[in-house]
Amino acid sequence: MTTSQEVPAAAKDSRGRVAELHAIREEVRRGPSEKATAAQKAKGKLTARERIDLLLDEDTFHEVEPLRRHRATGFGLEAKRPYTDGVITGWGTVHGRTVFVYAHDFRIFGGALGEAHATKIHKIMDMAISAGAPLVSLNDGAGARIQEGVSALAGYGGIFQRNTRASGVIPQISVMLGPCAGGAAYSPALTDFVFMVRETSQMFITGPDVVQAVTGEQISQNGLGGADVHSTVSGVSHFAYDDEQTCLEEVRFLLSLLPQNNRENPPSVESHDAADRRGDALLDLVPADGNRSYDMHKVIEEIVDEGEYLEIHERWATNIICALSRLDGQVVGIVANQPASLAGVLDIEASEKAARFVQMCDAFNIPIITLLDVPGFLPGVAQEHGGIIRHGAKLLYAYCNATVPRISLILRKAYGGAYIVMDSQSIGADLTYAWPTNEIAVMGAEGAANVIFRRQIAEADDSDAMRARMVKEYKAELMHPYYAAERGLVDDVIDPAETRQVLIDSLAMLRTKHADLPSRKHGNPPQ
């Protein structure tokens, strides 16, 4: 590869110049050296071009500025000016639809960002925003190029500014395929989805060496910011996979469920799953006894097309499920309490997870279906001191602010403020349904009876018998399945086996829904 500042002497005729062009292009395609490629492979990683080939439809990639080289001097940079400057940018298609992409090439400057490198990314981001098409970043870089100083840092600023401008306008997906440290971690954090690969990708603001120097704590790179940490503990990563091939295939699947931009609807497909298919299995999946657990995943599988869905944040805040799926070929977002984890209560992490998902669905015109079986907010000193009030308010704000079609379905318990927050009719759900097993109340019957009938229970000769009697009375009076329906708080009580058809028919009616928000620059959501 040409590494000096000298431009090769031009050939004397057109054929010679075209041959020279093809030689340079081949040089660009091969990359810096076989040694650098071997080092990349030795780490179990693909090259940037191999990754792009896996992401995009075959032979659809159009590269932008492949001949770009930096103009920096000092620290030996003037003698090392490789083509692409360590980042490959361009566009192609995924399932036939345009997608823009940039991929760090770790073989060149360790994928570090310099001025020319950043300018290429800025350009492709601007093109994605202008064209109204998704942007996927394949991240494998060592952060800012130290030799270029503040110019490199300013390059990150330009990326962050464009991430923010594109937010809610085009889907932005960050795929972490190597280390991502310092300020570089903030661009993925600003995007809609973050994918990581176990063992090879890490994200952290300060690395293990700095952590040890400052705090004395010893920890590995993966222990500090690996895929499992960010997909189970911090919630930074939405998805984690064992290898790059599976990871990129799942990125393609996610793109098939998203619109090109906020002015379009998600792509629909022909469904081979009958819209009127009954779900008799639901009668056995969900116990009528509110104290018995079950797996909400099985309920979702029974309702959606062919049982297929993509769960977001599958391993973080597992007491709530957020998933993208289809009903009769139309994309929907599903938010569901998970009784198999913490009894399905709402806590700080579950509220944050669901709030961000609701906002994403609303930004990209994806109808939201909420499946309720929630006993309330998680009590405790840690939750209160951790700010459950403001974190829970994030979910409330997200639902209240959403203008896409919203349907809620109450399967069993729906108690207290958690019931209101989970897209109840009172905060704007377009349609609210319930199964005959629903229990909508301020709190559970036992707790309510202890409060309301405290004196009678205390004065009774047999307090346990009196408590049982009062619980039964409270249930009969205020918690029977039709109490909310009689007061118009539930639009209908439905046969669980007919859930799929009811949801599909309701979504068809709501497809032309239009809602206007107040004129304002933007809201001030709780943080």
3-state secondary structure (DSSP) of residue 128: helix
3-state secondary structure (DSSP) of residue 511: coil
Question: Is 463's pLDDT higher than 70?
Answer: yes
pLDDT reported for residue 4: 44
Question: Is 153's pLDDT higher than 50?
Answer: yes
Q: Choosing from 116, 418, 429, 448, which is the catalytic residue? A: 418
Q: Choosing from 132, 182, 329, 447, which is the catalytic residue? A: 182
Does the annotation count 235 as an active-site position?
no
pLDDT reported for residue 478: 66
pLDDT reported for residue 474: 73
pLDDT reported for residue 194: 98
> In the numeric block, which tokens belong to residue 426?
């009172």
Does the annotation count 523 as an active-site position?
no
For residue 455, what pLDDT band results from cuts at 50, 70 and 90? Answer: confident
Question: Is 423's pLDDT higher than 90?
Answer: yes
E-assigned strand segments in 287-445: 309-312, 320-327, 330-337, 368-374, 406-415, 431-434, 439-441
Q: Are 24 and 66 a contacting pair, CB within 8 Å?
A: no
For residue range 68-98, list pLDDT tens digits in order: 887 666 676 676 778 777 899 999 999 999 9
For residue range 162-177, list pLDDT tens digits in order: 999 999 999 999 999 9
> Is beta strand 202-204 parallel, antiparallel or unpaired with respect to 87-94?
unpaired
Question: Is 472's pLDDT higher than 90?
Answer: no
Nearest 5°: the CA angle 451, 454, 444 is 35
Distances in whole angstroms, Cα of residue 351 to Cα of each of 101, 131, 357: 32, 34, 10
For residue range 243-253, list pLDDT tens digits in order: 999 999 999 99
Q: Choosing from 235, 417, 428, 447, which is the catalytic residue? A: 417
pLDDT reported for residue 33: 79
pLDDT reported for residue 73: 61
pLDDT reported for residue 462: 80
Q: Are 235 and 317 a contacting pair, CB within 8 Å?
A: yes
pLDDT reported for residue 15: 85
Average pLDDT, the chain: 90
What proportion of the chain, given as a percentage, has pLDDT over 70?
94
Q: What global pTM score does this model have?
A: 0.91
For residue range 295-344, list pLDDT tens digits in order: 999 999 999 999 999 999 999 999 999 999 999 999 999 999 999 999 99
Question: Is 443's pLDDT higher than 90?
Answer: no
Residue with the larger pLDDT of the pair 9 and 403: 403
For residue range 137-146, list pLDDT tens digits in order: 999 987 777 6
Does the annotation count 417 as an active-site position?
yes
Give residues with Cβ within 8 angstroms of 249, minimum separation 6.
54
For residue range 6-49, list pLDDT tens digits in order: 555 566 788 888 888 888 888 888 878 788 788 888 888 999 99
